[in-house]
Amino acid sequence: MSKQDTETGVVAAENLDRVEAPVTWRAYAMCVFASFGGIFFGYDSGYIGGVQGMDYFIKMISGPDATELLSWQSSLIVSILSAGTFCGALIAGDLADYFGRRFTIILGSAVFIVGVALQTASAGLVLLVVGRAVAGLGVGFVSAIIILYMSEIAPKKVRGAIVSGYQFCITIGLLLAACVSYGTENFENSGSYRIPIGLQMLWALILGVGLIFLPESPRYFVKKGKVEEARKALGRVRGQDPNSHHIEAELNEIRANHEYEKRMTPETGYIGSWLLCFSGSVGLASSNVRKTLLGISLQMMQQWTGVNFVFYYSTIFLKGTGAVNNPFLMSLIFTLVNVLSTPLSFWFVERFGRRSMLLWGAIGMTVCEFIVAAVGVTIGFNHTHVVDDVTIANNISAVNVQIAFIAIYISFFATTWGPGAWVLIGEIFPLSIRSRGVALSTASNWFWNFIIGYITPYLVGSQHANMQSSVFFLWGALCAVCIVYAYFLVPETKGLTLEQVDQMLDEVSPRKSAAWKPTTTFASMEEKQTTA
Ligand code: BGC
């Protein structure tokens, strides 16, 4: 049974389970395909470490006698990508609201291909840097909007698992990049860097062309007031007849939620709509500013776990211990552990929920990092030798313990904070600020990614703070902050539609959110409002 509101045409579903239509396997497959965008992210952050160490590349950039890149060159080459992605992610939110989610991702793939073509063609620093900035813009578009798109089209029961699929693709991208660079690093020609760089065009092509055949997000059409298009798109993402009562009920709930939000938020211009992301009181968990800060800080905390220290610097760190024969192989093993553990999160995220996952993940990572640090300062440095004025631990079994705990740490990250932070930023924002909220959060990921990448050499470099294993005390302490953060600030969004997440954040604090159950639909609230 359902009742129709004469003013808005919205029909209220009386059954709370009817707010989402059933889904076919084909529809699941569509959502899963979109996660392919993660390959960009991972590959792009992963290949540059390998390329920078290539002899041919170093000589091309720094001259025939050079054995390594000058610091400013290396820093420019690495950081220009983050600058591009940061800007790309910010612009992408606007584009996704004006032109659609799908179009923005396709555009991002095209921009990325242009950037990669410039880098592949480059035979010197300038074109390479320009190419990386352009490619970064494309990665920024894709990394922000894929999350938005997937969260909006995925069925609620598996939304967490599907967005975790994106994280899985990031890990595959990182692994592929490491393997390809390893394969070409000894080439004595431009193929050494051109192959790993050029190969990325393939990921962009697959994603861009694939998305041409996928439907637009129905929630985007609702935001644009295009109800019939929304109905057709929803029919496609659920694999149902667009005129079926299931689609009718789900569409009505999305529309009613949007009507409700529109009533709550004043009509504004461009600047005003950005300011909307920061409206309300910081003290109120349901205010826009709190949701925006939550998204931005979630991604910041994800970077603060120190995961990229392991991915960017583990080779150098392990070399420094003097106890590992093939540090490259070891860092490849960490990358492999990352890939192999991530699928567990598909189950964790729906079985235990986002909140418990982040809480337990932070506890596990904290313990592992403190063990690595403690082993380093107690056992590891009992037996040391000095190379080039640097004190090096050569207690092999201590270093092995450290390696084992770094691997366990990675699997904690891969099953919890890695996917969890992405899943949550797709879920916590109301439709009115969702695209910008996700964009700001993604930009925060890239910003902190850059900051950590930039400061780490100063933390561990022998000329600077030379923290060696003790750097893990720092990451451990930051992970301990993640425990407190997850306990007080992260809400449980498992099993709810995006509209129900809105309701839940309005009604309970994050600590009580896991027990929250929806008691009404937006469509029936709208109905009461118009009959009152
Ligand atoms: C993070 C990246 C990290 C990767 C490792 C992602 O979720 O945002 O910074 O390199 O996970 O798998």
d(CA 133, CA 131): 5
- Residue in 35, 78, 302 to alter for ligand 1 test, most ligand atoms within 8 A of Cβ: 302
Q: Which pLDDT value is given to residue 11? A: 45
Q: Which pLDDT value is given to residue 317? A: 74
Is the model's pLDDT at 295 over the cut of 80? yes
Burial tier of 269 (Cβ tally within 10 Å: 0-12, 13-18, 19+): exposed
Q: Which pLDDT value is given to residue 1? A: 37
Instruction: With beta carbons less than 8 A apart as the criterion, state whether 82 and 115 touch.
Output: no
Bigger pLDDT: 89 vs 396: 89
Instruction: With beta carbons less than 8 A apart as the criterion, state whether 206 and 36 touch.
Output: yes
Instruction: With beta carbons less than 8 A apart as the criterion, state whether 24 and 238 touch.
Output: yes
pLDDT band (50, 70, 90) for residue 7: very low
Is the model's pLDDT at 155 over the cut of 80? yes
**Eight-class DSSP state of 311:** H
Alpha helices in 11-124 (DSSP H): 25-34, 38-52, 55-62, 71-98, 101-121
Ligand 1 center from residue 170 Cα (angstroms): 7
Q: Which pLDDT value is given to residue 483? A: 98
d(CA 256, CA 264): 12
Which residue CA neighbors atom 11 of ligand 1 most closely? 418
Q: Which pLDDT value is given to residue 529? A: 65
Atom of ligand 1 nearest to the CA of 418: 7
| Lowest model confidence (mean pLDDT) among 71-80, 131-140, 216-225 | 71-80
**Threshold 0.85, pTM exceeds:** yes
Q: Which pLDDT value is given to residue 119? A: 95
Q: Which pLDDT value is given to residue 530? A: 65
Which residue CA neighbors atom 2 of ligand 1 most closely? 308
Q: 41, 140, 156, 147: which is closest to 83 by C-alpha? A: 140
Is the model's pLDDT at 138 over the cut of 70? yes
pLDDT band (50, 70, 90) for residue 3: very low
Q: Which pLDDT value is given to residue 531? A: 66
Query: Who's near 515: CB < 8 A, 6+ residues apart?
Result: 508
Give me the residues paired with residue 384 across strands: 393
What digits encode the pLDDT tens for the residues 160-202? Answer: 999 999 999 999 999 999 889 888 888 889 999 999 999 999 9
Atom of ligand 1 nearest to the CA of 308: 10
Is the model's pLDDT at 12 over the cut of 60? no
| Lowest model confidence (mean pLDDT) among 77-81, 84-88, 158-162, 500-504 | 77-81
Ligand 1 center from residue 102 Cα (angstroms): 23
Ligand 1 center from residue 421 Cα (angstroms): 10
Atom of ligand 1 nearest to the CA of 171: 12
**Eight-class DSSP state of 9:** -
Ligand 1 center from residue 1 Cα (angstroms): 46
Quote the percentage of the chain above a pLDDT of 70.
90
Query: Who's near 378: CB < 8 A, 6+ residues apart?
Result: none
Ligand 1 center from residue 414 Cα (angstroms): 8
d(CA 321, CA 316): 9
Q: 417, 418, 383: which is closest to 399 by C-alpha? A: 383
Give the E-state strand segments of 95-183 in sequence order: none
CB pairs under 8 A, 24+ apart, for 508-513?
509/285, 510/285, 510/355, 511/487, 513/355
Atom of ligand 1 nearest to the CA of 311: 10
What digits encode the pLDDT tens for the residues 305-330? Answer: 999 888 877 777 777 777 677 777 77
Atom of ligand 1 nearest to the CA of 414: 12
To which residue do tokens 């797709």 refer? Answer: 426
Q: Which pLDDT value is given to residue 19? A: 65
Helices vs strands, H then E, count in the chain: 24, 4
Atom of ligand 1 nearest to the CA of 338: 12
Quote the percentage of the chain above a pLDDT of 90.
54
Ligand 1 center from residue 418 Cα (angstroms): 6
Q: Which pLDDT value is given to residue 462? A: 66
The H or E element containing residue 347 is: helix 344-351
End-to-end Cα spacing for the chain: 21
Helix (H, G, I), strand (E, B) or coil at 386: strand
For residues 393-400, average pLDDT: 75
Instruction: With beta carbons less than 8 A apart as the criterion, state whether 196 and 50 touch.
Output: yes
pLDDT band (50, 70, 90) for residue 389: low
Q: Which pLDDT value is given to residue 448? A: 93
Bigger pLDDT: 75 vs 33: 33
